[in-house]
C-alpha cells in the first residue's frame, strides 16, 4: 500500500501571493482558507505553504525570527489551526516549510550570540576570526552576491551567511542547536502538520576546517556570481547524512508524516539524501524538469537515468516550478505549458505543482521601482530576481484580480483579465480545465500514481512511455515540437487504444490503431483498456 505522499500531488502555495483577506495587499492564512474549495476541486492532495513565521521579511519569510509562531501579517496561531483543521476536513494534507540552515539576524538566538564572544549562544552560529589581513576567514560566497562573511565590529569576528547577511547560518555541529531545531519540528508535528519541506537541506553542515572552495572552471559571465566557485567545503559534506537521519527520526516519532528536502545537486548526489536503508528524506526534491533543456531526447535520457539512480524502495518525485524559478509557461512557452503539465503528472513519482501554473500564469515584468526580491537588488539586471514568478494569483477579471481589495505587493500580469480562475472555469478549453481533467484521470487510474514506468522508443520531438502494466497500462506520448508527429507502436502494445486525454481537450474517446498521431505541441494519454472497463 502506498502512502499519501507517494500517491498524492503536492501544490505549493506562496502565501504572500495566494489570497489576501486582510486588505493589506499581501496574502494571508485566512485567504488560503477561503480558497481551499478551489484547491480541493483542482484535485491535488496536499498543500505546501512557504514560510508564515515571524520574520523581518528580508528574504520574504526565509529569514525566521521565531520558529514556533505565525507572522501577524499572515494571521494568528488560531488562524493556522483553523486552516489546518479545514484542510484535513477536506481530506487534504498540509506541509510546512522548515528553514533550519539559518535564522533571521533578529532571532533572539542570534541577538544573544552576537552580544559577546562569551555568550552562551556564541557557538550556535559560525563565528570565525578575521584572516591575517583582517578580511573574511575564507573565500566562501553568499548565494545572493558578495562574501558569505559579515564582520561584527563589536566582537571583532565574522559570522557566515550562505544567503543574506540578515540570515546567519546556524551551527549544526552544536548538539544544542540540533535539539532546539528538533523541538521546532515536534511543536508543529504535535499541532498536526503532515510534514515539512526543508529549506536548503544540503547546506546544513559545512567543513569543520573551513577550507577555501576551489574555483569553478566552467563559470561563464552571466552565471550567478557564486557559481564562480564549486561549493565543495560549504555544502553537501559527508556529515550531512547523519543530520538528515536525525531529522527523519523526529518525523518518524509521529505517524504518516513526510520529510521533503530542497536539494539542488546532480542526480548521483541527490539520491544519497534518501539515506542508507532509506532512513533519510522521503523525497529529496528532484528539480531536473526545471533545470534541463526542454527537448524530448534530453528529457528521455534524464528520466531513465533518474529512474535507475533511485535506490531500491526509494520513491521518485518531480517538480515543475517553485518560487525561486521562472514559471514553466515562461521557460517553455505557452504552447508547451500543457505538455509540461502532462509530463509532470504522468511520470512515476510524487509531482509538485506551483500555484498559478494551472491557469497558465507567466513571469511578470517588474519595473525597477517595484523590485522586492533581495537577490535582484544585490545582483540587478542579471535576470536572477524571483519577483516575476511570485506575482499574485489571478482569481477573477475584476479589480486586483480578485486577490485583494487593494493594489497587491507585486504587480499583476497585464493579461489577468483573460487569464484567471473565474474566466477559465467558464471555458472548457482552457489550461485550468486541462489540469483538472488530468488530475481527475490520475485519481481514476491507479497506473498513474502507482504503475511502473517503461520508456517507449520514439524519435525526434516525441517522448513516449507507458505507466502500469497489462490492462491497466497507459501510453503517454508528448510532442515537444512545433510540427505534427506520429508514433508507430510496436507489437508489444495492443493494436487498438483509446485516447483518455489530449492536452487540447478535444480527442477523448478517439481510437488509435497501431500508431498515435499528434499535432504540434500536443500530448495524449492512450488507454488500452476495453472502453467498458474504463472508469
Tell me if 200 contacts ligand NOJ by CB under 6 A: yes
C-alpha cell at 188: 508543529
Euclidean distance between CA atoms 49 and 411, whole angstroms = 21
- Measured from the CB atom, the residue of 378 and 417 that comes closer to ligand NOJ is 378
- Measured from the CB atom, the residue of 15 and 485 that comes closer to ligand NOJ is 15
Tell me if 163 contacts ligand NOJ by CB under 6 A: yes
Q: Least separation, in Å, of the C-beta of 102 and ligand NOJ?
A: 7
Tell me if 160 contacts ligand NOJ by CB under 6 A: no
- Measured from the CB atom, the residue of 16 and 323 that comes closer to ligand NOJ is 323
- Could you list the active site residues? 199, 253
Site string for ligand NOJ, 425-464 (x = CB under 6 A): ----------------------------------------
Contact pick of 199, 357, 358, 376 for ligand NOJ (by CB under 6 A): 199
Tell me if 376 contacts ligand NOJ by CB under 6 A: no
At 526, which helix (H) or strand (E)? strand 523-527
Distances in Å between the alpha carbon of 129 and those of 138, 151, 276? 10, 9, 37
Site string for ligand NOJ, 65-104 (x = CB under 6 A): ----------------------------------x-----
Residue 159: beta bridge partners?
127, 150
C-alpha cell at 438: 488530468
Q: Least separation, in Å, of the C-beta of 199 and ligand NOJ?
A: 5
Contact pick of 20, 28, 59, 376 for ligand NOJ (by CB under 6 A): 59
Q: Which of 408, 495, 478 has its CA nearest to residue 28?
A: 408
Q: Least separation, in Å, of the C-beta of 145 and ligand NOJ?
A: 12
Q: By the 8 A CB rule, do 431 and 449 touch?
A: no
Q: Contacts with ligand NOJ: how many residues (CB under 6 A)?
A: 9
Tell me if 324 contacts ligand NOJ by CB under 6 A: yes
Q: Least separation, in Å, of the C-beta of 504 and ligand NOJ?
A: 34
Q: Least separation, in Å, of the C-beta of 263 and ligand NOJ?
A: 11
Site string for ligand NOJ, 201-240 (x = CB under 6 A): ----------------------------------------
Q: By the 8 A CB rule, do 101 and 170 touch?
A: yes
Q: Least separation, in Å, of the C-beta of 527 and ligand NOJ?
A: 38
Q: Least separation, in Å, of the C-beta of 496 and ligand NOJ?
A: 47
Q: Least separation, in Å, of the C-beta of 162 and ligand NOJ?
A: 8
User: Strand 462-467 to strand 474-479: parallel, antiparallel, or no bridges (unpaired)?
Assistant: antiparallel
SS3 505: coil
The residues in 476-505 that bind ligand NOJ, with binding defined as CB under 6 A, are none
Euclidean distance between CA atoms 334 and 479, whole angstroms = 14
- Measured from the CB atom, the residue of 331 and 390 that comes closer to ligand NOJ is 390
**Locus of grid cell 518531480:** 318
How is 273-302 classified by DSSP, letter by letter? GG-GGG-S-SEE---HHHHS---HHHHHHH
Tell me if 62 contacts ligand NOJ by CB under 6 A: yes
Residues in the chain: 535
Q: What is the DSSP letter of 242?
A: H
Contacts of 175 (CB under 8 A, 6+ apart): none
Q: Least separation, in Å, of the C-beta of 58 and ligand NOJ?
A: 10
**Locus of grid cell 494571508:** 28
Distances in Å between the alpha carbon of 132 and those of 116, 136, 210, 455? 21, 9, 15, 58
The residues in 247-266 that bind ligand NOJ, with binding defined as CB under 6 A, are 262
User: Strand 511-513 to strand 496-502: parallel, antiparallel, or no bridges (unpaired)?
Assistant: antiparallel
User: Strand 93-98 to strand 462-467: parallel, antiparallel, or no bridges (unpaired)?
Assistant: unpaired
CA angle 209, 214, 219 (to 5 degrees): 150
Contacts of 288 (CB under 8 A, 6+ apart): 267, 302, 306, 318
Contacts of 352 (CB under 8 A, 6+ apart): 9, 10, 11, 12, 48, 285, 317, 318, 319, 320, 322
- Measured from the CB atom, the residue of 384 and 393 that comes closer to ligand NOJ is 384
CA angle 221, 301, 529 (to 5 degrees): 140
How far is C-alpha 167 from the chain's CA centre?
21
Tell me if 472 contacts ligand NOJ by CB under 6 A: no
Q: Which of 450, 394, 390 has its CA nearest to residue 419?
A: 394
Tell me if 105 contacts ligand NOJ by CB under 6 A: no
Site string for ligand NOJ, 8-27 (x = CB under 6 A): --------------------
> What residues make contact with ligand NOJ under the rule CB under 6 A?
59, 62, 99, 163, 199-200, 262, 323-324
Amino acid at each position: 500500500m502506498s502512502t499519501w505522499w507517494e500517491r498524492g500531488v503536492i501544490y505549493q502555495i506562496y502565501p504572500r501571493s495566494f489570497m489576501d483577506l486582510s486588505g493589506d495587499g499581501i496574502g494571508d492564512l485566512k485567504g488560503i482558507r477561503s480558497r481551499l474549495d478551489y484547491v480541493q476541486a483542482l484535485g491535488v492532495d496536499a498543500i505546501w505553504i512557504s514560510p508564515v513565521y515571524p520574520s523581518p521579511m528580508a528574504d520574504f519569510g526565509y529569514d525566521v525570527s521565531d520558529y514556533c509562531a505565525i507572522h501577524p501579517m499572515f494571521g494568528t496561531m488560531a488562524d493556522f489551526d483553523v486552516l489546518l483543521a479545514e484542510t484535513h476536513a477536506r481530506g487534504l494534507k498540509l506541509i510546512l516549510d522548515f528553514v533550519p540552515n539559518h535564522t533571521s539576524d533578529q532571532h533572539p538566538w542570534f541577538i544573544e550570540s552576537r552580544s559577546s564572544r562569551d555568550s552562551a549562544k556564541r557557538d550556535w552560529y559560525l563565528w570565525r576570526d578575521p584572516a591575517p589581513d583582517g578580511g573574511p576567514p575564507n573565500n566562501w560566497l553568499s548565494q545572493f552576491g558578495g562574501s558569505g562573511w559579515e564582520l561584527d565590529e563589536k566582537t571583532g569576528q565574522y559570522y557566515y551567511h550562505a544567503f543574506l547577511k540578515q540570515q546567519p547560518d546556524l551551527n549544526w555541529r552544536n548538539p544544542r542547536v540540533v535539539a532546539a531545531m528538533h523541538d521546532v519540528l515536534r511543536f508543529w508535528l504535535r499541532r498536526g502538520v503532515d510534514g515539512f519541506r526543508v529549506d536548503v537541506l544540503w547546506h546544513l553542515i559545512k567543513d569543520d576546517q573551513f577550507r577555501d572552495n576551489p574555483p569553478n572552471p566552467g563559470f561563464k559571465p552571466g552565471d550567478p556570481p557564486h557559481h564562480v566557485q564549486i561549493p565543495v567545503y560549504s555544502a553537501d559534506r559527508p556529515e550531512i547524512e547523519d543530520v538528515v537521519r536525525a531529522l527523519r527520526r523526529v518525523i518518524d516519532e509521529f505517524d504518516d508524516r513526510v520529510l521533503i528536502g530542497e536539494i539542488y545537486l546532480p542526480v548521483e548526489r541527490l539520491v544519497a539524501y534518501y539515506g542508507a536503508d532509506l532512513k533519510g528524506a522521503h523525497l529529496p526534491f528532484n528539480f531536473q524538469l526545471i533545470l534541463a533543456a526542454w527537448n524530448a531526447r534530453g528529457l528521455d535520457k534524464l528520466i531513465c537515468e533518474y529512474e535507475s539512480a533511485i535506490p531500491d524502495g526509494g520513491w521518485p518525485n518531480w517538480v515543475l516550478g517553485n518560487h525561486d524559478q521562472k514559471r514553466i509557461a515562461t521557460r517553455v512557452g505557452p504552447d508547451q505549458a500543457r505538455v509540461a503539465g502532462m509530463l509532470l503528472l504522468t511520470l512515476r513519482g510524487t509531482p509538485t505543482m506551483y500555484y498559478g501554473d494551472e491557469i497558465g500564469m507567466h513571469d511578470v515584468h517588474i519595473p525597477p521601482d517595484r523590485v522586492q526580491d533581495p537577490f535582484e537588488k544585490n545582483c540587478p539586471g542579471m535576470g536572477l530576481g524571483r519577483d516575476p514568478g511570485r506575482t499574485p494569483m489571478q482569481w477573477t477579471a475584476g479589480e486586483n484580480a480578485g486577490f485583494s481589495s487593494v493594489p497587491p505587493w507585486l504587480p499583476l500580469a497585464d493579461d489577468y483579465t483573460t487569464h484567471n480562475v473565474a474566466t477559465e472555469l467558464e471555458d472548457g478549453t482552457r489550461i485550468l480545465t486541462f489540469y483538472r481533467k488530468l488530475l481527475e484521470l490520475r485519481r481514476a487510474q491507479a497506473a498513474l500514481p502507482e504503475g511502473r514506468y517503461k520508456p517507449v522508443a520514439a524519435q525526434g520531438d516525441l517522448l513516449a512511455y507507458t505507466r502500469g502494466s497489462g490492462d491497466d497500462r497507459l501510453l503517454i506520448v508528448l510532442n515537444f515540437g512545433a510540427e505534427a508527429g506520429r508514433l508507430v507502436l510496436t507489437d508489444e502494445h495492443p493494436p487498438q487504444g483509446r485516447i483518455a486525454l489530449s492536452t487540447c481537450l478535444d480527442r477523448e474517446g478517439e481510437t488509435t490503431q497501431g500508431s498515435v498521431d499528434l499535432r504540434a505541441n500536443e500530448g495524449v494519454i492512450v488507454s488500452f483498456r476495453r472502453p467498458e472497463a474504463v472508469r
